[in-house]
Amino acid sequence: MTSRDYYADSYAHFGIHEEMLKDSVRTGSYRAAIVNNGHLFKGRTVLDVGCGTGILSMFAAKAGASHVVGIDMSNIIDQAQKIIEANGFKDTITLVKGKLEESQLPIQQFDIIISEWMGYFLLYESMLDTVLLARDKFLKPGGLIFPDNATLYMAAIEDQDYKEEKINFWDNVYGFDYSCIKDIALREPLVDTVELKSVVTDPCSIKHINLLTAKKEDLTFTAPFSLTATRNDYIHAFLAWFDISFDCTHKKIQFSTGPHAQYTHWKQTVFYTPSTLTVSEGQKITGQLTCSPNVKNNRDLDIIISYAAEGDETSAANVEYKMY
């Protein structure tokens, strides 16, 4: 068995940018927020944190920014330089290769920060801490951040068939017992699309982040939740997604990565429960979700979900998940 995972990794040289650019909810929302708000960008200085291929920097230049600085530590910035030159933005956009923490920027104070920093489950592998650092170091008082608000949601879902395929599969692999891998599989949240009809509870907001005021410490948090079943059904997993908004725009631009919304490359995040919960319409599932960067590797996320169905003590559980 060869390690084909290497392929996905290195294809990402440009493949991941292809996926992000083709995510029209993502890129279209940023375009609307920036290009349709020339009154905010005209004559202003803009910092693009994690600029990638430079698409947001070019939107800002097109919206009338006096100067845009894009920074990225990935080699993709070499292509970004060719792209901004090919599109006539050589004088308006300056690209810097490196980590924000260690780089000298040609401008010290910016009117606006733009960034697409969101990861799976909003915070996995996200650049939010770098955006907050950029804000504290480089944003003028009263400056704007695009986007300026993010909210994480959760709900519970019926997912018998797919849980069978992804988790219970390991009970019997060509007649062999692979259950040691089942335990690992269960604890790794699954990034995938979920149909709205699978959702069996109301959604619950568990974390709001205002980019203008959030602190790095806010990214480690414990949030209570209470989900109310909307029908008699079974629960096989919790589901999480996030919404993003650009509240500072003329006509508020927002998008959701939830199961009710159009597909995005962030999909949703599924946390399978060890046991199935049986719930009745109106019954509450209450608990709390704790999220923190892993102590050994702060790019990994430790997520603990404690929960119980109201009136059913046997349903109580405390499950430790790890996104890595």
The smaller minimum CB distance to a second copy, of residues 7 and 222, is found at: 7
Q: Which two tokens stand for residue 131?
A: 């955006």
User: Token digits for 230?
Assistant: 């909307």
Q: Which range of residues in 81-89, 252-260, 270-278, 287-295 is near a second copy by CB under 8 A?
A: 81-89
Closest distance of CB 29 from a second copy, Å = 12
State yes or no: residue 295 binds a second copy (CB under 8 A): no
Q: Single out the segment in contact with a second copy by CB under 8 A; choices: 96-104, 143-151, 165-173, 224-232.
A: 165-173
| Half-sphere CA count of 103, side-chain side, radius 13 A | 21
Q: Give the residue ranges of DSSP H helices in the chain.
A: 5-22, 24-35, 38-41, 55-62, 76-86, 128-138, 160-166, 179-187
Q: Rounded CA gap, 319 and 274, in Å?
A: 8
- What's the closest the beta carbon of residue 130 comes to a second copy, in angstroms? 10
Any contact of residue 147 with a second copy (CB under 8 A)? no
Task: Determine which helix (DSSP H) or strand (DSSP E) holds 155, and give its type and residue range.
Answer: strand 149-157
Q: Decide if residue 200 touches a second copy (CB under 8 A).
A: no
125 is catalytic: yes
**Choice between 91 and 313, CB closer to a second copy:** 91
Question: Could you confirm whether 116 is annotated as catalytic?
Answer: yes
Length of the chain: 324
State in angstroms the smallest separation of the CB of 217 from a second copy. Answer: 20
E strands, 167-299, where? 190-192, 204-210, 221-228, 233-246, 253-256, 268-279, 284-293
The angle subtended at Cα 206 by Cα 47 and Cα 20, nearest 5°, is: 40
Alpha-carbon span 126 to 252, nearest angstrom? 24
Residue 99 binds a second copy, judged by CB under 8 A: no
Taking CB under 8 A as the criterion, the residue among 33, 45, 52, 271 binding a second copy is 52
Query: Minimum distance from CB of 209 to a second copy (Å)?
Result: 15
Rounding to the nearest 10 degrees, give the CA dihedral for residues 121, 127, 129, 131: -120
CB closer to a second copy, 263 vs 324 = 324
Which of 19, 101, 116, 217 is catalytic? The answer is: 116
CA neighbor of 214 nearest in space, from 154, 148, 152, 153? 148
The one catalytic residue among 19, 85, 102, 125: 125
The CA distances from residue 156 to 109, 144, 263, 269, in Å, are 44, 35, 19, 11
Q: Is 4 in the site for a second copy (CB under 8 A)?
A: yes
Supply the minimum distance, in Å, between the C-beta of residue 308 and a second copy. 29
Asked if 203 is part of the footprint of a second copy (rule: CB under 8 A), the reply reads no
* Stretch of 155-163, 168-176, 239-247, 313-321 lying at the interface with a second copy (CB under 8 A): 168-176
Site for a second copy in 10-39 (CB under 8 A): 10-22, 27, 31
- Which residue from 202, 222, 299, 318 is in contact with a second copy, where contact means CB under 8 A? 299
* CA 313 remoteness from chain centre: 33
Interface residue with a second copy among 25, 65, 100, 124 (CB under 8 A) is: 124
Cβ pair 237, 157 in contact under 8 A: yes
DSSP 24-61: HHHHHHHHHHHHTTHHHHTT-EEEEET-TTSHHHHHHH
Catalytic positions: 116, 125
Report the interface residues with a second copy, using CB under 8 A. Answer: 1-22, 27, 31, 50-53, 55, 58-59, 72, 74, 79, 82-83, 86-87, 116-120, 124-127, 166, 169, 173-174, 176-181, 184-185, 188, 191, 265, 299, 323-324
